[in-house]
Amino acid sequence: MNEWWRGAVIYQIYPRSFCDSNDDGIGDLAGIGSKLDYLAALGVDGVWLSPFFRSPMRDFGYDVSDYRDVDPIFGTLGDFSALLKAAQSKGLKLIIDQVYSHTSDQHRWFKESRAGRTGPKADWYVWADGKADGGPPNNWISLFGGQAWSWDTRRRQYYMHNFLAEQPDLNFHNPEVQAEILDTAKFWLDRGVDGFRLDVANFYFCDKQMRDNPPRRTAGGFARPYQHQQHLYDRSQPENLKFMEDLRRLVDRYPGRMTVAEIGSESYVARSIEYTEPGRLHTAYNFLLLENGPLTANLIRSAIESWTSASAWPSWSFSNHDVVRVRTRWGGPAASDAFAQLLLGVLMCLRGTIFLYQGEELGLPQAEVPFDRLRDPEGVRFWPDGLGRDGCRTPMPWKGNAANAGFSSVEPWLPVDQRHGELAAGKQERVRSSTLNLTRAFIQFRREHRVLRLGDIEFLDAPEPVLAFRRSDSSSRLVCVFNLSAESVEYGLPANVRRLDYGLPGALRAGRAALPPWGGLVVEESPRGLER
């Protein structure tokens, strides 16, 4: 059984912002292809591409108008096939985003569905009559603010949208919809992709009775209307799990392919486990470490220990295209390179599959994007209290001394933060101790030590700010100790250990870990009492 994904490091690419090959200010598939050597040298096992399908780009690709074609701004199906072949020739797996919960309102399915209540696709989306007073069918709220219902004058009904009004939700209660989505997955599997990242995987089904969501009693401190409800009926329905099983059966017909769910839920880990039990998806990541803070040893420990299932496999990430970059989110605007390097060192020692977001290996902080340059509809709506997602989606800096940091020769779709130019990949290549080169070393260390990829994890008692845990399997035992503070600390280690060269600053002195600010140490337990 080829379970390459188990314990792997997978690199997320946001195509619009990775590399522009044709000088239109937008990244593309050919640009990604030109950086495959960089990705191979980084040492990652695979790449996840955020959406590159045809789309009017109201939500920048997460509003799909054709699941089986490439949007011209990114290239062609031929360009995708060339990228896939080139990536796999370099030993890189390629998984692609699949957005099944909803489509664009420009998708031909929705155009047919809204044309009337009796057509072939009339029931392909979630439609409902309004209440007697003309109001929406229930109290469901969109994640982007406002009601999750929009009135359509043609059908004289409301349609549901968990996100933008331009992103109507598919009706998965309709077997024809399920069959079409499975056929879409088969289309890409037949083309040779190595798997899928499933956008909002627990959002496919809603309650057939369309019951109101109850209020969330602790909602007073939340900024977004969506957070003021318990989402009992607009997501995470029991029928959703059956569809996950159907999808898994399809994927299992293609050896070596995998699925990873994005789970959005207040029950972060419990819901992720539910979706990755045997017969369902291969793994899932959630927002527990993407939305919560500040950084403490207890935060990391409680997250990892909350994954209590022995049969389901976890995934973890500190950054992605939807949240403030982790260097800034946990470290503040003045966070140092050493802080960013510590975070990467911790991440690469965790049990599970690891997702690394583009630029994280460079230690990029959250970019500053002025209001007049914001493109994210969420950011525009909630400005200035929420700056949205543009700050983590700005172009990848390749060359510090080039226009737009080498991303494009023309003005890119989002501005390049000047601080990012100073952290460009080309600059860091030449510095042995750079965040980029340390990330390469961390990934290589993880690859060389099977116990870090597949072994068990056991947290050790340690006072804040020390994070300490043991990784073990039948042949190896490593103890990983990290200092999550700007002050030097010491921590007593088990007897009979020897220091391994992990790359973070830290020393083994008389059986104790001596850790400078943001330092770390990995030691191997040995019955022979080797110590150095």
* 220 band by pLDDT with thresholds 50, 70 and 90: low
pLDDT over threshold 50, residue 530: no
* 532 band by pLDDT with thresholds 50, 70 and 90: very low
Return the CATH architecture of domain 455-525.
Sandwich (2.60)
pLDDT over threshold 90, residue 221: no
Determine what percent of the chain is predicted with pLDDT higher than 90: 92
Which 8-state DSSP code applies to residue 170? B
Where does 71-111 show beta strands of DSSP type E?
93-98
Is 361 marked active-site? no
342 vs 375, which has greater pLDDT? 342
pLDDT at 348: 98
Is 448 marked active-site? no
- Averaged confidence pLDDT in the chain: 95
Q: Class of the 9-103+175-209+238-444 domain?
A: alpha beta
pLDDT at 387: 61
| Contacts of residue 220, Cβ cutoff 8 Å, sequence gap at least 6 | none
Determine what percent of the chain is predicted with pLDDT higher than 70: 97
Distances (CA, A) of 343 to 77, 106, 155, 394: 37, 41, 52, 21
Q: What is the mean pLDDT of residues 70-98?
A: 98
pLDDT in tens, 372-390: 888 888 877 777 776 679 9
- Determine contact, residues 435/462, Cβ cutoff 8 Å: no
pTM score of the predicted model: 0.96
pLDDT at 386: 66
pLDDT at 374: 87
Q: What is the mean pLDDT of residues 19-41?
A: 98
- Determine contact, residues 341/412, Cβ cutoff 8 Å: no
pLDDT at 314: 97
CA atoms within 13 A on the CB side of 435: 22
Question: Taking the CB of residue 419, how many other CB atoms lie within 10 A of it?
Answer: 14
* CB burial readout 144-167, b (16+ within 10 A) else e: beebbbbebeebebbbbbbbbbbb
Which 8-state DSSP code applies to residue 504? S
pLDDT over threshold 70, residue 528: no
* 531 band by pLDDT with thresholds 50, 70 and 90: very low
Residue whose pair of structure tokens reads 């080139």 in the numeric block: 86
Catalytic residue among 79, 199, 234, 378: 199
pLDDT at 527: 59
- Determine contact, residues 145/224, Cβ cutoff 8 Å: yes
Give domain limits for the chain.
Answer: 9-103+175-209+238-444, 455-525
pLDDT in tens, 119-137: 999 999 999 999 999 999 9
Catalytic residue among 79, 234, 262, 274: 262
CA torsion sign, 403 to 407 to 410 to 412? negative
